[in-house]
Every structure is written in structure tokens, then in C-alpha cells.
Amino acid sequence: MKNQDLKRMKAQQPSSDDARLRYFFYFLRLGLWGKSSEKEEDVSLEENDWGWLFALSREQAVSGVWIDGVSQTACRPSEALWTQYIFHLLHIERTNVLLAKAEKAWLDRLATRGIEAEVFKGSSVACWYRKPQYRSYGDIDLVVRRGWERVEAFLMEEGYIYHPCFVVQDGKVVVELHPRRERVYNPLLNARLQRMLATDPSGMELYVACLLLHLRRHMLGYGIGLKQVCDVAVMLHRAPLDERKLAEVLRRLHLVRFSRALFGFIETHLGEGFCFPFPPLHNRATQLLGNIVLHDGYRLKMERENLSAGKHQAWKRIGSNACFWLIRSVRLWRLMPGEAFFFLVQKTMSRLWTI
């Protein structure tokens, strides 16, 4: 869908999911960029259509940006539903203020113990949004650059109860501490990634590559939402990136095939005017990626967790997970052949060790 006029959208019945999706992305683009190449028309949506669109925006974790897009048009749901939108938007804004303060407090406290850390995702990517306060919030992800060996002692001294993966509940805030910004399942490629992060920790191009790696890894195991896609899109659109350097980074990390499919999805649904380091794809791989984003979303993670919780015997959990991993790897082979293979190997081996 390129430069599609709302008049063409209006020709379809709003009650169909395809028509609803077109309206959904129209408002999302307005929220992301503050403008659209599409000519605004009177949009006639029923109350159930507005409810469906709002539910989708929340499910995809882009509700704040989406509501802001709606606010830039003359289109409105009922007063009751619009009031609900506004209160939801205020909640996102207030929570983001709380998280920003918590991020700074944690970085300062870690620094006093000689632990150097950075925020990954969160506010560090929200700053590239047109209105950062409307990016949907999540956990605080802190990547420890130096002093990882001191983290456990710090948490114990501070009285935090934490999981082995260093996930901490700090009041209403969940803080995750990581020894590295990102990882991949291919061991040789992972070693290369860690060397690149050690030599270029502040490179904007490598940061974008890590967002892409994070998105790809979650697509394999948990499913992803539009929020993660929008994070990549806003950085490609607004961050000061060296296109040649970004292309080289993506080549070295074997990200070209996946990136081109994602670029095709971004160009189709989130607008034009991007300077992609590689030509976007508009083929079956892009359709596959779009189906996963729009139909799996974040629900896949919750479904997998619920299924695992219902199987109390280890062999049943491992068997169920192994079937899922095999099907998932085969399905995503078109997008990431090498990573899909090593994902299956590593997941299976790690579970076998737990028996």
C-alpha cells in the first residue's frame, strides 16, 4: 500500500478486517510522522470498528502513537470511547515519566558501585519518536558495559530478590540487567557480534542492527509486535545513520535477507521516504513477516508460557516445546535460514540438559 488515498479505503466496508487495517495504519502513520501523503476524507467508522482498532493498537503496543494519530484528524469515536482513549494516553505519558526517572536512578546507583550501564530500547529509542512520551512503555533493560561481576553483589546488598537472569521487581518497575546488548544463536556469529560491540559500543548503526537482531530473535521464540517494528522505522527515519556503514554491519551479521523483508513491510505499512541500506523486498518473505507481526503479535509469548505452565512433567514440556521449535524453524527458514537452524539446536540442547 503506497500513497493510498483514503477515498479508496472508504470504498471498502469498514467492518472487514482488511479495511479496518488500512484505517489502522493510516492513523499509525500520522502518529509516527505527523503527516501523511494521503488526502484526508471523512472516515465513517462504527463504534465496534473503533473498539476493534483500539484493541489492536493495544495488542500491538502502539496505542499511544495510534491515538495521537487519530487526534490529528476530524475522526472521532463516541465521546465515551474517546474519553477512554485520552485517559489511556495520559497513563502512558505518566508511566513513561516514571520510567525515565527510574532509569536515571538505576544508572546512577550502578555507577556509584563502579558498574557502567546503558539503557537499551526504552528511552534510548523513544527519543527518536516524534512524541517520545507516547511510545508504549515496557520493562527497563539495562546493559552492563563494565562491572558485570559486581552486579550480583550489588543486588544482594540492596535487598532485591532477583531471578537467575537478573530480573528485578523495583516497586512498580521491572528492571532487567543484561551482560550484553544482544546475542544470536549462531555461536560463530555471536562471537563476531560481541567483538563488534566491544570495539564500537556507541555506534548508531550497530545499535540499529541490535534492534533488528532483537526483533528477529523474538520472532523465532516469542512473537513480536508493531512496537518493535516502529522502533526500527523511527531510527531509520530520524537517526543520523551512515548508510554505507549500516549496510556493512548488516552484511557482517548476516541480517540482509531479514532486513530487506522488514524494510518491505515498513515501506508498505508505515510510509515512504526511508533511506534503506538495501532495496526492500515485496515477496512471500515479506508476506510471511507481516503475517507473524499482525497475527502472532505478542500473544504467541503468552500462549507458549501458558502451555508450558500447564505441563508439570519435564518430558512433556520438552516434547511440546521441541515440536513448536521445529515447526517455527521450518516456517521461518525463508527469512533466517542460519539462525533458524541454530535456534532449534540450542533450544533442544539446553532443555535436554535440564532433564
- Does residue 26 sit within a domain? yes
- Does residue 349 sit within a domain? no
Local confidence band at 19 (pLDDT 50, 70, 90 cut-offs): confident
Residues 212, 235 contacting (CB under 8 angstroms): no
Helix (H, G, I), strand (E, B) or coil at 198: helix
Q: Give the burial string for 1-11 (b: 16+ CB within 10 Å, else e).
A: eeeeebeebbe
- Does residue 19 sit within a domain? yes
pLDDT at 9: 44
- 47-69 confidence digits (pLDDT tens): 999 999 999 999 999 999 999 99
The domain tally of the chain equals: 1
Local confidence band at 12 (pLDDT 50, 70, 90 cut-offs): very low
Whether 299 shows a pLDDT value over 70: the answer reads no
244's CB contacts (< 8 A; 6+ apart) are 277
- Does residue 351 sit within a domain? no
- Does residue 345 sit within a domain? no
The secondary structure of 213-231, three-state, reads: HHHHHHHHHCCCCHHHHHH
pLDDT at 13: 46
Residues 107, 117 contacting (CB under 8 angstroms): yes
Tell me what the mean pLDDT of segment 115-120 comes to.
96
Local confidence band at 319 (pLDDT 50, 70, 90 cut-offs): low
Mean per-residue pLDDT of the chain = 88
CA dist 170 and 193 (Å) reads 31
11's CB contacts (< 8 A; 6+ apart) are none
Local confidence band at 10 (pLDDT 50, 70, 90 cut-offs): very low
- Does residue 61 sit within a domain? yes
Local confidence band at 81 (pLDDT 50, 70, 90 cut-offs): very high
Local confidence band at 314 (pLDDT 50, 70, 90 cut-offs): low
Local confidence band at 303 (pLDDT 50, 70, 90 cut-offs): low
The whole-model pTM stands at: 0.88
- 153-169 confidence digits (pLDDT tens): 999 999 988 777 788 88
CA dist 56 and 60 (Å) reads 6
CA dist 279 and 269 (Å) reads 16
- Does residue 310 sit within a domain? no
Whether 131 shows a pLDDT value over 80: the answer reads yes
- Does residue 58 sit within a domain? yes
- 183-198 confidence digits (pLDDT tens): 999 999 999 999 999 9
Q: Residue 38: give the domain boundaries.
A: 6-77
Name the percent of the chain in helix, strand, coil, to the closest 5.
65, 5, 30
Output the nine-digit C-alpha cell for 261: 523483508
Whether 269 shows a pLDDT value over 80: the answer reads yes
